[in-house]
């Protein structure tokens, strides 16, 4: 049987490197179509959990993972030598930024180091980790061809960006259209042969660079538009206009407008990070990405603006921030998930502490987090505690929070997510960021 035909059967051996927010959902979808998948993960505890059928990713259904493990369709290991018997390797490792906001390629480099050891003829390698345009061709290809194998003839290399939206109940791994671009036409053809069985819709593009750029366009588009509505919130506060009302009114236009909402800053792995990959790449080509830089400046300033809004509210009550007690509601970067990556709530938390406030938090999805090598735990949301606090700041609008209860018992509420918009008895108690800064005192 020719290799291309084998990829269209259930006899394919599939490997996922990195079993996190991207890799584990992918592994489960591969297993669901009857293809055996081996996950490689450096975290030994995650390997143990997977092999016991224990799930740790919110977007994966517990019963689906357990069923796949019980059927022998999913297993996990720390041993990269399994690549020797694989037909397909999908790389789903983190791609963070370093302190200078330059790409940290160490995880991809580590994966390549291991793949190089076990490269073999007819191996399909697909990078899913978001990165800068040119990574697949300029960074990965030369290293893989050191094996003596020729790309497009002896092995196949492509880029297919992950499009995970944590907590999205509608668009999941399987039904989100999958962009893919190979180094050669043969690379695209072989990669699609396997992925076409897993995803509902494939979107082939002409090159790996086009696929890389498409992913960066998606998230840079969101980052820039969020930066604009964040600045809109600041302007509306100064104008005494409700930004949330303005946005909803503009959104009634049936064409030419897409609704974005302001907030305390950007969070998650993609939107705060991916545009900087493009910005970094363009710096190497002597080009300054003005929109990205300006939006980043606005978005990174929003935690400070939330704190200033709190200070304004406390000043109206003739209270100093220094020595006050403040609760943050929500530490996750978005509502109804447990994902803490790059959450702006951390910045708000740290800014409040640096100004002398005593800070606690409540988040039903995130029971604890590490803060300067100390574990901080979520506190219960009780009437007694709320009354004892000087202020509450809503940093994440989880839907299972009773915000009327919060308003009824808190002394002051700073709402950075418009969670209190339709509540009763908010006069004199609530400052909504972007709400025009109106309080009745």
Q: What is the secondary structure of 112-131 as a DSSP string?
A: HHHHHHT--TTEEEEE-S--
Q: Is residue 270 flagged as an active site residue? A: yes
**Which residues 6+ apart lie within 8 Å of 192 measured at CB?**
180, 202, 204
Q: What are phi and psi of 172, to 5 degrees?
A: -110, -170
Per the CB < 8 A criterion, the answer to whether 183 and 158 are in contact is yes
Catalytic residue among 15, 92, 270, 366: 270
CA distances in angstroms from 394 to 132, 344, 374, listed in the order given: 34, 12, 23
Q: Is the dihedral of CA 149, 150, 153, 155 positive or negative?
A: positive
370 token code pair: 């590490």
**Which residues 6+ apart lie within 8 Å of 232 measured at CB?**
243, 246, 247, 262, 434
422 burial level (CB within 10 Å; 0-12, 13-18, 19+): exposed
Place of tokens 């055996």: 36
DSSP for residue 136: I
Q: Which residues are 378's β-sheet partners?
A: none
Closest among 179, 160, 284, 278 to 223, alpha carbons compared: 278
Place of tokens 């990174």: 300
Closest among 163, 161, 162, 168 to 59, alpha carbons compared: 168
Q: Among all residues, which ones are annotated catalytic?
A: 270
């Amino acid at each position: 049987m020719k290799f291309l035909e084998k990829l269209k059967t259930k006899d394919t051996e599939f490997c996922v490197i990195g079993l996190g927010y991207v890799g584990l959902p992918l592994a489960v979808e591969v297993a669901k179509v009857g293809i055996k998948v081996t996950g490689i993960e450096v975290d030994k505890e995650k390997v143990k959990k997977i092999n016991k059928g224990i799930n740790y990713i919110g977007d994966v259904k517990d019963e689906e993972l357990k069923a796949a493990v019980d059927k022998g369709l999913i297993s996990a290991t720390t041993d990269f030598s399994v690549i020797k018997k694989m037909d397909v390797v999908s790389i789903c490792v983190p791609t963070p930024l370093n302190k200078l906001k330059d790409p940290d390629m160490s995880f991809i480099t580590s994966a390549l180091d291991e793949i190089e050891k076990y490269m073999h003829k007819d191996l399909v390698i697909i990078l899913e980790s978001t990165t800068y345009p040119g990574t697949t061709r300029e960074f990965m290809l030369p290293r893989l061809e050191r094996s003596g194998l020729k790309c497009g003839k002896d092995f196949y290399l492509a880029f297919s960006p992950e499009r995970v939206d944590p907590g999205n109940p509608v668009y999941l791994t399987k039904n989100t259209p999958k962009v893919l671009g190979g180094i050669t036409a043969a690379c695209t053809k072989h990669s699609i042969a396997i992925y076409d069985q897993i995803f509902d819709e494939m979107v082939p593009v002409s090159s790996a660079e086009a696929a890389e750029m498409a992913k960066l366009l998606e998230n840079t588009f969101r980052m820039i538009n969020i930066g604009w509505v964040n600045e809109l919130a600041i302007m509306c506060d100064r104008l005494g206009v409700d930004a949330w009302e303005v946005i909803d009114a503009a959104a009634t236009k049936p064409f030419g407008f897409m609704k974005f909402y302001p907030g305390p800053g950007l969070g998650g792995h993609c939107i705060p990070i991916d545009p900087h990959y493009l910005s970094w790449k363009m710096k190497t080509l002597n080009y300054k990405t003005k929109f990205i830089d300006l939006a980043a400046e606005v978005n990174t300033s929003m935690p400070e603006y939330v704190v200033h809004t709190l200070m304004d509210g406390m000043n109206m009550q003739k209270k100093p921030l220094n020595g006050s007690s403040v609760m943050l509601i929500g530490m996750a970067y978005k509502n109804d998930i447990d994902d803490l990556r790059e959450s702006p709530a951390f910045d708000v938390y740290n800014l409040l502490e640096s100004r002398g406030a005593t800070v606690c938090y409540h988040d039903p999805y995130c029971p604890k987090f590490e803060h300067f090598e100390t574990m901080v735990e979520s506190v219960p949301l009780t009437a007694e505690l709320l009354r004892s606090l000087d202020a509450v700041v809503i940093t994440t609008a989880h839907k299972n929070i009773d915000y009327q209860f919060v308003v009824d018992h808190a002394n002051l509420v700073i709402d950075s997510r418009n969670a209190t918009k339709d509540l009763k008895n908010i006069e004199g108690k609530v400052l909504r960021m972007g709400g025009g800064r109106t309080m009745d005192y």
